[in-house]
Amino acid sequence: MYGRKNGSSIRRNRKGEMIGRRYYDKYGRAKKDIDYGNHNNPKDHPWGSHRHKWKWKNGKPTRGNGEALDKGRKKRRK
């Protein structure tokens, strides 16, 4: 759950294909995961690519539920 401060790391499957990226906060703690697929679980991840936010409480991490990448973003004006 730790990495380079304010950095990121790439996660790969056994074939070497990129399946996600993990971002770290200023303390090197996992902050956010971006997954590039639905983990073969379209019921819980219908959007395909999605994110999971990490929460830290008393030094212990909890990975949040998946949510669409555009959730909470303002839509661009045309």
Number of domains in the chain: 1
Residue 9 falls inside a structural domain: yes
Q: What is the pLDDT of residue 7?
A: 98
For all residues of the chain together, what is the average pLDDT? 87
With 0-12 CB in 10 A as exposed, 13-18 as middle and 19+ as buried, what is 68?
A: middle
For 5, the domain range is 1-50
Q: What is the pLDDT of residue 19?
A: 92
Residue 42 falls inside a structural domain: yes
- Read off the pLDDT band of 55 (50, 70, 90): very high
Residue 14 falls inside a structural domain: yes
Q: What is the pLDDT of residue 76?
A: 54
- Read off the pLDDT band of 49 (50, 70, 90): confident
Residue 10 falls inside a structural domain: yes
| Biggest CA pair distance of the chain | 45
pTM for the whole structure: 0.80
At 53, give phi and psi (nearest 5°).
-95, 145
Question: Residue 39: pLDDT above 60?
Answer: yes
